[in-house]
């Protein structure tokens, strides 16, 4: 590790990885600081019961890559590690509908749909996106539902970041003219979200970060940034001092100098850090830090088949298909691999109502009126092989505000629209219809039922774009209002509700932001290498 870098990037998810590669290609020295650990294929757990390898909860000395955060208005699922959310996401890469580009705080700043189109294409190329060629049993059930709803033409296989090739066969880099790592054909085991142990999932450490390292990017894992000071004591015109410490144990504190800083730690990394910095080190940050938090208006419902001769629902990729229910609603069947039944400990029968007492007796009523299904679900052997998680998403908009808490590290407050709810009538209706096909009772996260709050895997916003500091935290080029040489490139920059899995959009917007940064004036070998990688 050197003492000074042109760019220090905080976080290695989709935005951070894009930034690292593109800046390295332009001749800049880059340091990436990542809170989580490095993972190789063999390091991932065989199931999510291996909490030590799977779950990130440092207070319990658990240093895995999957994090669950419970807040007063929402429960959040996210990723931690070199490669960020790509380690645990479901590989799904849809382009949002038109409404996304013409709403929210970034509306009108640019013609986003037109300007981002080539960057979506570039993101597809870099992430190795391909159409899922194999529909698993849960995908086939969704296809049946589409027919029942007269929406067959709105059902499709997903476009995903997976190398399919020949199942189980390893080949030399198929994406970057031999400059990337070897890849192995997907075996459709369904274990994408507990970490791909078979070298088929195109995680960021196998594309953007891998190529960035070849060009000199340095990555420090298991370290967390806790302070940033402008060297000039004011605007950061001459750069910053970045302070960080060990995140997985004791170790001495370190610091480096950075000409530029890019926040890329995701909503749960970037936003809390910005809130802390605004109180002391960076007081000129916009008052909009923490505002415009969105949950993608999601609902997660678990359906466990009680059929005796059920198919193996682990077969396939994590999300193999998608059904557009209407112009603003989508449904996807999600699967985990064999043995991954930990979530059964966090769910109870789903029941909708605004009052807790009614929900309590509603759940009790389900148990009393359907005791056989309840018991079969509760004590089901081979739980993951019987289970489908239904992910429902909408483009309907409401926002929260994320704040630092006094009792808990973080808390939320309602901002615009209705507070997000754990119960969406259409989602419940669809889950019941799916449940009838497999003789199942829909279940929800216990927090959804007991607290009435939703669970989301796609929390967004908190450092959104705006015309000025009164409307956003960053401008249309991702530059932070109030400070020079500082940017945000991660899910916290998303300024409207995409209504679909957001990873592709984060990648594309980061690509656009990096395209605006000029090549470093000093010529370096990295620039020639860039031309070769880009053809």
Closest listed residue to residue 200, CA positions, set 332, 76, 49, 337:
337
| Bridge partners, residue 240, by sequence | 230, 258
* 8, 260 contact by CB (below 8 A): yes
Output the CA angle 104-108-111, nearest 5 degrees: 110
User: Is the CB of residue 18 less than 8 Å from the CB of residue 489?
Assistant: yes
Nearest alpha-carbon partner for 500 in 67, 10, 89:
89
E strand or H helix at 24? helix 14-25
Tokens of 329: 């609603």
Residues with catalytic function: 458
**Contact, 127 vs 183, CB < 8 A?**
no
Question: CB-side exposure of 320: number of CA atoms within 13 Å?
Answer: 26
- Interatomic CA distance for residues 392 and 300, integer angstroms: 6
Residues with Cβ within 8 Å of residue 151, at least 6 apart in sequence: 323, 324, 325
Contacts of 435 (CB under 8 A, 6+ apart): 303, 441, 442
Neighbouring residues of 476: CB distance < 8 A, sequence distance ≥ 6: 106, 109, 110, 465
Q: Cα 50 to chain center, whole Å?
A: 21
Q: What is the largest CA-CA distance in the chain?
A: 74
Nearest to 35 by CA among 279, 272, 308: 272
| Contact of 76 with 69, CB cutoff 8 Å | yes
H/E stretch holding 16 reads: helix 14-25
How far apart are alpha carbons 114 and 322 in whole angstroms? 25
When computed from its CA atoms, the radius of gyration of the chain, rounded to whole angstroms, is 23
Q: Which tokens sit at 12?
A: 């290695």
């Amino acid at each position: 590790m050197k003492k000074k870098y042109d760019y220090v990037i905080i976080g290695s998810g989709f935005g951070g990885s894009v930034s690292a590669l593109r800046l390295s290609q332009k001749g800049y020295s880059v340091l990436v600081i990542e809170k989580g650990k490095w993972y190789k294929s063999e390091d991932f757990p065989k199931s999510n019961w291996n909490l030590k390898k799977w779950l990130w909860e440092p207070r319990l000395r658990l240093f895995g890559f999957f994090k669950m955060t419970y807040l007063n208005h929402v429960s959040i699922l996210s990723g931690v590690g070199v490669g960020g959310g790509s380690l645990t996401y479901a590989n799904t890469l849809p382009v949002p509908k038109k409404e996304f580009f013409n709403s929210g705080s970034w509306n009108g700043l640019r013609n986003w749909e037109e300007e981002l189109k080539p960057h979506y294409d570039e993101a597809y190329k870099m992430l190795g996106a391909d159409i899922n060629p194999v529909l698993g049993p849960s995908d086939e059930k969704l296809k049946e539902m589409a027919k029942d709803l007269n929406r067959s033409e709105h059902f499709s296989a997903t476009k995903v970041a997976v190398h399919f090739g020949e199942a189980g066969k390893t080949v030399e880099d198929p994406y970057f003219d031999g400059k990337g790592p070897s890849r192995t054909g997907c075996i459709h085991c369904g274990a994408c979200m507990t970490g791909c142990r078979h070298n088929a999932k195109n995680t960021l450490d196998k594309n953007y970060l891998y190529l960035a390292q070849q060009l000199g990017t340095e990555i420090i894992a298991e370290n967390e940034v806790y302070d940033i000071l402008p060297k000039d004591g004011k605007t950061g015109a001459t750069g910053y001092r970045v302070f960080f410490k060990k995140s997985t144990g004791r170790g001495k504190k370190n610091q480096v100098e950075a000409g530029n800083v890019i926040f890329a730690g995701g909503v749960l990394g970037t936003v809390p850090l910005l809130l802390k910095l605004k109180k002391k080190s960076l007081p000129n940050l916009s008052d909009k830090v923490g505002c415009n938090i969105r949950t993608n208006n999601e609902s997660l419902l678990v359906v466990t088949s009680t059929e005796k001769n059920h198919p193996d629902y682990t077969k396939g990729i994590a999300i193999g298909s998608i059904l557009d229910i209407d112009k603003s609603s989508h449904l996807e069947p999600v699967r985990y691999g064999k043995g991954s039944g930990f979530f059964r400990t966090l769910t109870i029968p789903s029941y909708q109502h605004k009052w807790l007492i009614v929900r309590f007796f509603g759940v009790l009523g389900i148990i009393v009126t359907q005791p056989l299904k309840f018991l079969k679900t509760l004590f089901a052997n081979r739980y993951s092989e019987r289970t489908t998680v239904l992910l429902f998403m909408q483009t309907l908009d409401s926002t929260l505000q994320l704040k630092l808490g006094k009792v808990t590290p973080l808390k939320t407050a309602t901002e615009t629209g209705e507070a997000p709810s754990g119960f969406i009538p259409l989602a419940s209706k669809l889950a019941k219809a799916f449940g009838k096909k497999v003789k199942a009772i829909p279940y929800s996260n216990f927090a959804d039922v007991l607290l009435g709050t939703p669970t989301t895997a796609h929390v967004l916003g908190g450092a959104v774009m705006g015309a000025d500091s009164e409307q956003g935290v960053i401008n249309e080029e991702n530059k932070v209002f109030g400070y020079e040489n500082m940017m945000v490139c991660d899910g916290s920059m998303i300024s409207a509700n995409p209504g679909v899995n957001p990873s592709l959009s984060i990648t594309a917007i980061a690509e656009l932001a990096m395209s605006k940064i000029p090549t470093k004036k000093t010529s370096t070998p990295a620039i020639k290498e860039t031309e070769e990688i880009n053809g």
